Amino acid sequence: MQRDATVMSKRLAALRAELKRQKLDGFIVPRQDEFQGEYVAAYAERLKWVTGFSGSWGVAVIGRKTAAIFVDGRYTLQVKHEVDGKAFQFHHLMTSPPTEWIGKSFTKGARIGYDPHILSVADAKRYSTACEKAKLKLIPVNHNPIDAIWKDQPPRPASAIVDHPLKYAGQSVAQKLKSIRSSLKEKGADAVIIADPTSVAWAFNLRGNDVPFTPVALCYAMVPATGKAHLFVDGKRLSTALQKSIKTHAACGGANVDGVLTSLGKRIAKVMLDPIAAPDHFRLALQKSGAKVIENPDPCMLPKAMKNKAEQQGARNAQLRDGAALSNFLCWLDDAAASGKLTEGEAARKLLAFRQENKELRDLSFESISAAGPNSALPHYHAHGEGRRLALNSIYLIDSGGQYPDGTTDVTRTVIVGKPSEEMCDRFTRVLKGMIAVSLIQFPEGTTGAHLDALARAALWKVGLDFDHGTGHGIGSYLSVHEGPQRISKTGNAPLKPGMIISNEPGYYKTRYFGIRIENLLLVTETQKLKGGERAMLGFETLTFTPIDRRLIDTKLLTREELHWIDGYHAEVLSKLQSRVSAATKPWLKDACAPFN
Amino acid sequence: MQRDATVMSKRLAALRAELKRQKLDGFIVPRQDEFQGEYVAAYAERLKWVTGFSGSWGVAVIGRKTAAIFVDGRYTLQVKHEVDGKAFQFHHLMTSPPTEWIGKSFTKGARIGYDPHILSVADAKRYSTACEKAKLKLIPVNHNPIDAIWKDQPPRPASAIVDHPLKYAGQSVAQKLKSIRSSLKEKGADAVIIADPTSVAWAFNLRGNDVPFTPVALCYAMVPATGKAHLFVDGKRLSTALQKSIKTHAACGGANVDGVLTSLGKRIAKVMLDPIAAPDHFRLALQKSGAKVIENPDPCMLPKAMKNKAEQQGARNAQLRDGAALSNFLCWLDDAAASGKLTEGEAARKLLAFRQENKELRDLSFESISAAGPNSALPHYHAHGEGRRLALNSIYLIDSGGQYPDGTTDVTRTVIVGKPSEEMCDRFTRVLKGMIAVSLIQFPEGTTGAHLDALARAALWKVGLDFDHGTGHGIGSYLSVHEGPQRISKTGNAPLKPGMIISNEPGYYKTRYFGIRIENLLLVTETQKLKGGERAMLGFETLTFTPIDRRLIDTKLLTREELHWIDGYHAEVLSKLQSRVSAATKPWLKDACAPFN
């Protein structure tokens, strides 16, 4: 699906002319936008516009004569379809990173440009170290050369910004700013620039619609230790009510971020920045104006991750709504797939329709992964067009989620169309055993996701199998479907804390045959102190309620405790959802939730 | 058990006079010696000599008028018994460390001395940072002020140094030096100073007897990228055969380490040092002579930890010998403890006698922990004198190990004298479940001890219990009973690799009542590829064979798989040991190994 070759080569030539004009020998083009977000607006699809690559992660480095694009394992095939191999070298982002390639591909003294509004402080530092080593000059550009030549670049989004009501947020803006200010005091900072739009949304109880799937306004904020905060956004975008309520806390104005930063730097001494979230030009502007930059993780990250009681209750409510829609879909699917004609695309649209039956749905939380047969073996699969048909006696995997005003959902179910093979049941049951082990674990304060990851894998490891993604990621509250700092993975070093929501999604993928993933969301809770127990323990409350396909479970592989869990889970699914599903789904739900014992 | 107060106050006064003479305002006195070892020779007991504190870890800082001693949680009670509270403040090593205390206790410009022959590079750096912050001067002393005033300081040990034969070592000195040199090449270093005596012993296939429990000679070595190595030890201490065989590889001479380093530094550019193992004066001497210091982990650490086939077979053989002795002891104990008069001390001596029946025993690998009743609740308990008597219906815990020429052992068994309570059986079974979970796990390359630690704890966590030590530590091959880099603990970040030996010793401790610990040693192995398995997996081979007390196991708490493990383990104990135990032990062993199923 390569784009028109002439168009693409004209763009590349125009960019090279612009580089010459700006006296640059090369330019770094990352996928990310000014907000380091997972989803970017159309205007920020610079990498795609200049290379043709449409993946969600990657970077190109374009020189006057040479160019290369760097993608990870998910995209090594796709990049070859989409990008002109005569114009671009293809490299693996991890094993042959751009920082190395730059050193080998430019001669000493070459001027490598980057857009400091896009590269984060941490990214710019990595490139800077690499350029220093190779004796190249790393140049922050004032005007992005792609923007300079992209005639019909779409406008920046300016969606309406609305209030996230207190009944869902659970905490007022005043309370949140107070907690941010106490972090500032702790670190001796005079102000913090909040660069992550989900943190701005959290801190000011607002939501927007600038990008798909994540209900944020693309903007920054500045919170000083004393005095009014500043929201770097055009005040007119705020709803009238929000304009009024926010006035007490913050001034609005998005036109001149650098100007505000410079005047800020002149007035106060120490400004806190998260080097992973903040674009490098914040650092440059602050340092130029004489302020000291204190690099520190975003102070909103931890309180945003630890959901309060209102957010927890919101999550429970959203999940029930979502579970009912997914159950209606799975019931419908059992019939509809029997024809052998149902496509992946049609299935995904039907699920969206079931979700939309509930008027609370605001958006999906990511593009659904609707994968039939061998496609289910690709953890990040997305169909082009209608995709594959669901064949008899094959696996179908659906990974999807919704955005509701009280919570964000993310759930995966794997079902059999027709009859499963023994191998499918064995693998499904092992994945389920891992999912149950994580669901059941209790653990003391201080335990991290890295400490728990093996529980999700032990039943697979036992027979020489594994899966190549993390076991779980954090989830926002009507915010991003991927949220830090918590995760369950080999490298998940953040302690799990009460109120955090995390996914529990072990899998198994047999390339070219089938894939399995079962995903519930879990809430970290403080457990009741047990009789004879000596220490406080944390545990998980399951938030996701939708049947797990009994036809794929080999009960011989389950322990008594695991059998007890699955029967208990299904009993809860039935009792919570039976009044919420459609009349047609009710008998199906009862069957799907029947106990084994 | 405080020492004679007059003696101790005279020592402190003499030290203060010496500090004055050396123009120092304070001096840092750590427990460790010049080799950072777990066991130190009598001459190096400087902390004990000047404070009275006999624990295995701690540090004092002594000023002209003020002084403080810092110990960890194991020793907070003991330090008060042993050290004069009027002369020394007592602080916790972690929560109120000496680096903080120094900053608060001395005035700007004060001169704080340390012995760079003792403090490691890493330790000296920590003190240096603290002193810089508090504007104090950190002074490396030429002559340790305690040595200057300690009239009857024992001589430095100079035990005979003998060959560690190839049949046990499995690899020649030439092969080992080759592997060290390839590490040097990789890091661009011209030489390495090996500061850890266990690494010197490993690299040169030699063993000594300078300290109890660890069969090393206290010495350093230097290995250049090309040319002869240097052993910093008096050549006369080597056996004649060893003198001959080592000549090809190394020159010997212990008199003037600094001289050799200085001349080395003048000749070559880059010298590798392990900042945790090397004393700071290495760094000082090298830098003074113009060499660049490359800080890098000891290149012997990983190959020493990954036992070769000969060392693995040696470990198996040593363990069987040791298991037979421990079984003879446990059989004897069942009878002997019935009287209610047996003491902890007598039991430990009897176990030593059983071990000594085998002429291969060279030493114990650490001081046995022989703990009756409430004493078993102290994980690091050591009796003073005869200790407590083993009472009826109480727990007895024995943690001990031996040094054999082919391997080092470390094993813990917990047994009931008389009848156990329900609580004891519940806790014992939960500890056992954790021990079994670790024994059974298979895992891919790259998995660390931190990833597996939770497996050992899950059954305790489930009822609100836990234990406050790591689950396992590495073990040497006729070397130190504690060896890195591998360990199973929350912070065990070294990947487990084939050939590593590691302990598996979960526990549970009910303060003032009873304690439980069950410890086997495990060898990391590559598992047979399973039918249908897709990936190579590592696993554990159990090395320790001695019955686990069946009277304390509540089989109702075990899964089928766990029951299968314990019955299988006992069948293996019986088959391996029945020909090795005494005639009197044989029928006992059969009973102790009877299957549940």
Q: Does A167 touch chain B (CB under 8 A)?
A: no
- The answer to whether the Cβ–Cβ distance between B490 and A451 falls below 8 Å is yes
The H or E element containing residue A488 is strand A483-488
- Residue A81 has, within 13 A of its CA and on its CB side, a CA count of 8
* Cβ-Cβ contacts under 8 Å, B433 against chain A: none
- The answer to whether the Cβ–Cβ distance between B451 and A447 falls below 8 Å is no
- The answer to whether the Cβ–Cβ distance between B464 and A559 falls below 8 Å is no
* Cβ-Cβ contacts under 8 Å, B491 against chain A: none
Q: Does B536 touch chain A (CB under 8 A)?
A: yes
In terms of CA atoms, which chain B residue is nearest residue A533?
B464
Residue A177 · residue A229 · CB < 8 Å:
yes
Terminal Cα-to-Cα distance of chain B (whole angstroms)? 52
For residue A118, what pLDDT is reported?
A: 96
Q: Which residues contact A25 (CB under 8 A, 6 or more apart)?
A: A19, A63, A64, A106, A110, A111, A112
DSSP A575: H
Q: How far is B30 from chain A (nearest CA, A)?
A: 30
- The answer to whether the Cβ–Cβ distance between B446 and A532 falls below 8 Å is no
Selection from B298, B235, B292, B296 nearest residue B268 by Cα = B292
Residue A261 pLDDT level (bands cut at 50, 70, 90): confident
> Which ipTM was obtained for this model?
0.91
The H or E element containing residue A538 is strand A538-542
- The answer to whether the Cβ–Cβ distance between A490 and B452 falls below 8 Å is no
C-beta contacts of A339-343 below 8 A and 24+ residues apart? A340/A389, A340/A390, A340/A391, A340/A392, A341/A389, A342/A389, A342/A390, A343/A383, A343/A386, A343/A387, A343/A388, A343/A389, A343/A390
- The answer to whether the Cβ–Cβ distance between B490 and A446 falls below 8 Å is yes
Residue B442 · residue B527 · CB < 8 Å:
yes
Preferred mutation among A425, A451, A514, A558 to probe B, highest tally of B CBs within 10 A: A451
DSSP assignments along A161-206, one per residue: BEE--HHHH-S-HHHHHHHHHHHHHHHT-SEEEE--HHHHHHHTTE
Pairing of strands B111-114, A520-526: unpaired
Residue A383 · residue A342 · CB < 8 Å:
no
In terms of CA atoms, which chain A residue is nearest residue B510?
A534
For residue A158, what pLDDT is reported?
A: 93
For residue B120, what pLDDT is reported?
A: 97
For residue A259, what pLDDT is reported?
A: 79
Amino acid occupying residue A380:
H
3-class state of residue A485 by DSSP: strand
* Cβ-Cβ contacts under 8 Å, A491 against chain B: none
- The answer to whether the Cβ–Cβ distance between A447 and B455 falls below 8 Å is no
pLDDT exceeds cutoff 50 at A372: yes
- The answer to whether the Cβ–Cβ distance between B537 and A464 falls below 8 Å is yes
Q: Tokens representing B516?
A: 């439980």
Selection from B461, B430, B515 nearest residue A529 by Cα = B461
* Cβ-Cβ contacts under 8 Å, A535 against chain B: 464-466
For residue A3, what pLDDT is reported?
A: 61
* Cβ-Cβ contacts under 8 Å, B490 against chain A: 446-447, 451
* Cβ-Cβ contacts under 8 Å, B450 against chain A: 450-451
Q: Tokens representing A86?
A: 């005569």
3-class state of residue A439 by DSSP: helix
Q: Does B511 touch chain A (CB under 8 A)?
A: no
Distance CA A593, CA A463 (A): 29
> Please, what is the Cα angle at B511 between B90 and B32, to 5 degrees?
40
Q: Which residues contact A259 (CB under 8 A, 6 or more apart)?
A: none
For residue A2, what pLDDT is reported?
A: 53
What residue ranges of chain B have pLDDT lower than 70? 1-3, 255
- The answer to whether the Cβ–Cβ distance between B530 and A464 falls below 8 Å is yes
Encode pLDDT of A68-121 as tens digits: 999 998 888 889 999 999 999 999 999 999 999 999 999 999 999 999 999 999
Q: Which residues contact B543 (CB under 8 A, 6 or more apart)?
A: B315, B316, B319, B501, B520, B521, B522, B523
Selection from B390, B354, B351, B343 nearest residue B367 by Cα = B351
Q: Does A560 touch chain B (CB under 8 A)?
A: yes
Residue A257 pLDDT level (bands cut at 50, 70, 90): confident
Selection from B155, B127, B122 nearest residue B139 by Cα = B127
Residue A485 · residue A472 · CB < 8 Å:
no
Name the packing angle between helices A344-356 and A309-336 (round to 10°): 130
* Cβ-Cβ contacts under 8 Å, B532 against chain A: 423, 463-464
Contacts across the A-B interface (CB distance below 8 Å): 89
Quote the radius of gyration of chain A (alpha carbons, Å): 25
pLDDT exceeds cutoff 80 at A256: no
Encode pLDDT of A482-518 as tens digits: 999 999 999 999 999 999 999 999 999 999 999 999 9
Backbone angles phi, psi at A500, to 5 degrees: -70, 145
For residue B1, what pLDDT is reported?
A: 47
Q: Residue written as tokens 């993933």?
A: A517
Interface of A with B in 425-444 (CB under 8 A): 441-444
In terms of CA atoms, which chain A residue is nearest residue B527?
A464
Distance CA A407, CA B386 (A): 65
3-class state of residue A332 by DSSP: helix
In chain A, % of residues over pLDDT 90: 90
Amino acid occupying residue B28:
I
Q: Does A536 touch chain B (CB under 8 A)?
A: yes
For residue B76, what pLDDT is reported?
A: 86
Q: Tokens representing B387?
A: 């200790």
Beta bridge partners of A26: A63, A112
DSSP assignments along A86-144, one per residue: TT-EEEETTTS-HHHHHHHHS-TT-EEEE-TTTSBHHHHHHHHHHHHHTT-EEEE-SS-
3-class state of residue B563 by DSSP: helix
In terms of CA atoms, which chain A residue is nearest residue B423?
A532
Strands (E), A320-457: 363-364, 369-372, 394-400, 402-404, 407-408, 411-417
- The answer to whether the Cβ–Cβ distance between B534 and A465 falls below 8 Å is yes
Q: Tokens representing A445?
A: 């304060």
Q: Does B227 touch chain A (CB under 8 A)?
A: no
Q: Does B533 touch chain A (CB under 8 A)?
A: yes
- The answer to whether the Cβ–Cβ distance between A455 and B453 falls below 8 Å is no
Q: Tokens representing B436?
A: 């079994």
Q: Tokens representing A408?
A: 């964000």
State mean pLDDT over A152-165. 96
Q: Does A489 touch chain B (CB under 8 A)?
A: no
Q: Which residues contact B125 (CB under 8 A, 6 or more apart)?
A: B275
Q: Does A556 touch chain B (CB under 8 A)?
A: no
Q: Does A452 touch chain B (CB under 8 A)?
A: yes
> Please, what is the Cα angle at B458 between A303 and A301, to 5 degrees?
10
Beta bridge partners of B502: B474, B522
- The answer to whether the Cβ–Cβ distance between B441 and A450 falls below 8 Å is no
Considering CB atoms only, which of B423, B466, B532 is closest to A535? B466
In terms of CA atoms, which chain A residue is nearest residue B438?
A458
In terms of CA atoms, which chain B residue is nearest residue A556?
B560
Residue A184 · residue A192 · CB < 8 Å:
yes
- The answer to whether the Cβ–Cβ distance between A442 and B450 falls below 8 Å is no
**Mean pLDDT over each residue of chain A, to the nearest integer:** 95
Distance CA B540, CA A360 (A): 52
All structural domains of chain A? 5-149 (3.40.350.10), 162-296 (3.40.350.10), 306-592 (3.90.230.10)
* Cβ-Cβ contacts under 8 Å, B447 against chain A: 454, 490
Encode pLDDT of A291-348 as tens digits: 999 999 999 999 999 999 999 999 999 999 999 999 999 999 999 999 999 999 999 9
For B21, B181, B247, the CA distances from B225, given in Å and listed in that order, are: 43, 5, 17
- The answer to whether the Cβ–Cβ distance between B450 and A451 falls below 8 Å is yes
- The answer to whether the Cβ–Cβ distance between B451 and A454 falls below 8 Å is yes
Considering CB atoms only, which of B461, B463, B561 is closest to A444? B461
Q: Which residues contact A587 (CB under 8 A, 6 or more apart)?
A: none
Distance CA A420, CA A547 (A): 17
State mean pLDDT over A534-561. 97
Distance CA B297, CA B307 (A): 18
Q: Tokens representing A25?
A: 């020998």
Distance CA A88, CA A77 (A): 14
pLDDT exceeds cutoff 90 at A401: yes
